[in-house]
Amino acid sequence: MDQPDQSVTGLLQQIASGESAAGSRLFELVYEELETMAHGYIVKERRRDHTWQTGDLVNETFLRMTRGNELLTPTNRRYFFFAAGRAMRQLLIEHHRQRNSQKSGGGAEHEVLDDVLKHIQATQSGDFEDLYEVLQRFVHLHPREAELIELRFFAGMTNPEIAEVTEMSLSSVEKRIRFAKAWIGEQLKSGETQ
């Protein structure tokens, strides 16, 4: 009897076909990479009132992906890590909004994502929600480039790692990331978040 495929793609296919134990094996296989991604997200937030721990964000991400049926569509490694990065970002945004809504005195303080803004070459500081709105618009207009931005700046991957995972040439990855940074930076600079 053949050994089942223990790669990310193989385990996703097993999950989709109903094998319940594949989810646990997948979690064990990707935990360290998810932990690295989560650490990158948390470090980039740099908020004084931040309460997330790396392991908590990894666990919540995997639970969200499981509950949201993200793991049920047979797919590949690239899709898995893209979906995990998106889930982490959404969890942090929700956490940020919840914390702001609990603050007393009305006007909630908006925290600046200095590292992300520096990476996207913004010349002015923007708040977290402005960045989120610009990124949402960018996803709809340029989905392929948005995937690269998520892998680079939110998942913390290097351009060569992105090229490998996405099966694109390194020069193509670099060109698309330069375009994305310029577009996002211009949107934040001009204040066009609507």
Domain boundaries, the chain: 1-106, 112-194
What one-character-per-residue DSSP string does 151-193 give? IIIIS---HHHHHHHHT--HHHHHHHHHHHHHHHHHHHHHT--
Residue-wise pLDDT tens digits, 77-112: 888 888 888 888 888 877 766 665 555 343 333 332
Q: Which helix (H) or strand (E) holds 59?
A: helix 54-67
- The CATH number given to 1-106 is 1.10.1740
Q: Which CATH class is domain 112-194?
A: mainly alpha
Instruction: Please check whether the two domains, 1-106 and 112-194, share a CATH topology.
Output: no
pTM over the 0.75 mark: no
Mean local confidence (pLDDT), 61-89: 80
Confidence of residue 192 (pLDDT cuts 50, 70, 90): low
